[in-house]
Structure 1
Amino acid sequence: MNKKDIWRYKSLEQLENKSWGTATEEDSGLIKKCIALSKVPVVKLTASELRVLIGQSFNPTYLVPLAVEILKDNVLVEAGLYPGDLLKNVLDVPTPFWEEHQDLHENVKDLIRQRSEEIETEIDLPGFWRNA
C-alpha cells in the first residue's frame, strides 16, 4: 500500500480528529446514519453512503475523490435515489472546493465532456458545470 493512500483506511472521525458522538433516540434517521458512517473507513463507503455524506456537507476533501473514482466507472451510477444522484451531489459541492482542488475539477469536467448528452438527459447541471 502506498503511504499517501493510508487516509483511505481511516474513518472521517479519525481523519478530522473529531468525534460525532453517539446518535440518540431523538436524532432523525439521517443524522443517525451520518453519525454511523462517520465511524466507517472511507474506503468502505458505498456510492449511496458517499451520496448521503456529500449531500450533508461532510468533508469533501476525503469523500469527493472516492466518489469521482466511482463516477469514472459509471458516471450515472444510481446511489439510492435515481440515475446520476451521486454525480448530482458531487456537482453540488460548493465552488471553493473545486477552486482548491483543480485536479479533481479537471477530472469531473472531463467526465462531463465525455458523457454530456447522456448526463444532461438525466440531471440538470448546476450553472458552475455548464459548458465544462
Structure 2
Amino acid sequence: MNRKDVWRYKSLEQLENKRWEPATEHDSIVTKRCIALSKVPVIKLTASDLRVLIGQSFNPNYLVPLAIEKLKDDLFVEADLYPGDLLKNVLDVPPPFWEEHQELHQDMKQMIRSRAVEVASEIDLPGYWQS
C-alpha cells in the first residue's frame, strides 16, 4: 500500500478528528445514516453512501476523489435514486472546491466532455459546469 493512500482506510471521524454524537430517535433517517457512515473506512463507502454524504455536504476533500473513481467506471452509476444521481451530487459541490482541486476539476470536465450529449440530456448541469 502506498503511504499516501493510508487515508482511504480511515473513517471520516478519524480523518477529521471529529466524533459525532450517537444518533437519537429524533434524528432523521438521513442524519442517522450519515452518522453511521462517518464511522466507516472511506474505502468501503458505496456509490450510494458517497451520494448521501456528498449531498449532505460532508467533507468533499475525501469523498469527491472516491466518487470520481466510481464515476470513471460508470459515469451514470445509479446510487439508489436514478441513473446519474452520484454524478449530480458531485457536480453540485460548490465551485470553491473545484477551484482548489484543479486536477479533480479537469478529470470531471474530461468525463463530462466525453459524454456531453448524454450528460446534457440526463443531468441538469449547475451553471459552473455549463461551459
> TM-score scaled to structure 1, two decimals?
0.98
Following superposition, the deviation at residue 119 of structure 1 comes to: 1.2
Separation (CA, whole Å) in 1 of partners of 2:130 and 2:45 = 29
Corresponding residue for 1:18?
18
The offset of 1:118, in angstroms, is: 1.0
1:118 and 2:118 are equivalent in the alignment: yes
**Cα offsets for 1:54-89 (capped at 9, x unmatched):** 000000000000000000110011101011100000
Runs of 4 or more, structure 1, over 3 Å off, are: none
Alignment partner, residue 93 of structure 1: 93
Tell me what 1:59 maps to.
59
Corresponding residue number in structure 2 for 1:68 = 68
- Inter-partner Cα distance in structure 2 for 1:72 and 1:117: 17
Cα distance in 2, alignment partners of residues 9 and 21 from structure 1: 22
Identity %: 73
Shift of 1:22: 0.6
| Aligned residue number for residue 104 of structure 2 | 104
Q: Which residue pairs with 1:28 in the alignment?
A: 28
Partner Cα separation in structure 2 for residue 45 and residue 55 of structure 1: 14
For residues 119 and 84 of structure 2, what CA distance do their matches in structure 1 show?
7
- SS of corresponding position for 2:49: helix
Q: What residue ranges of structure 2 are gaps of 5+ in the alignment? A: none
Q: Note the alpha carbon deviations across 1:82-127, whole angstroms, 9 max, x for none.
A: 1110000000000100010000000000000001111111111111
Output the amino acid matched with 1:39. K
Query: Separation in 2 of the partners of 1:59 and 1:126?
Result: 20
Give me the whole-angstrom Cα distance separating, in 1, the residues matched to 2:122 and 2:79.
14
How many residues are treated as equivalent by the alignment? Answer: 131
- Matched AA of 1:96: P
Rounded Cα–Cα distance in structure 2 between residues aligned with 1:121 and 1:74: 16
- Aligned Cα root-mean-square deviation (Å): 0.5
Normalized against structure 2, the TM-score is what?
A: 0.99
Match of 1:2 in 2: 2
